[in-house]
Amino acid sequence: MKPEDIVAARARRDAFIAAVPKAILDLEDALPEILAKAPGSKRAKLKRIYLAMDQIAKVREPFVACGKGCSDCCKMNISISRIEARAISSAAGRPFADLTESRRHPDAEFVGVPCPFLVDDACSIYEHRPIACRKHASFHSSSEWCKPDMLFETTVPMLDFGGVDKAFLETSTDGNQLIVADVRDFFPV
């Protein structure tokens, strides 16, 4: 990747950050406190986290290369929590492996391996996709740098979603245990 490509991607990321309305930024920051006080199940709270990320993603659309039919990010490691696996299982009508401990994989283990919910280069559970998918975005002007064989060739500008991350961690923890694994661990093919 040329240095000017990285500079351009950072500029697009910064333009996105500047475009996010204050109300959305405030909601994202306050999300952990809001959910801690909110009644309801963990699944209901997870939906509220997803809605907050969807608001952010709507603002992000003009600044990213991501779009319908682009599925290269669906062919890499995709970590999900056990609560997300339960929600996906319920929505998709597909059983899941109810893991009792987290599983970690080398970064390159699933490079080029499609997500089990990728059908004809489209997400078959898009409405119910996990937080990792909702947060993932490429600030490059094209999907060239998203291809699985390019995954380790460049560093991409990332964003920190502190409020969403904290709320997600608190919502996804069962007792004192957070169980996270690749989507393929929960839904083997």
Q: How far apart are CA 92 and CA 123, in angstroms?
A: 12
Per residue in 81-116, pLDDT (tens digit) is: 999 999 999 999 999 999 999 999 998 899 989 999
- For the CA atoms of 157, 162, 163, 168, what is the dihedral angle to 10 degrees? 90
What is the block-wise mean pLDDT of the chain (189 residues), using blocks of 10 residues?
A: 82 95 96 95 95 96 87 92 97 96 93 94 95 90 73 69 94 90 96
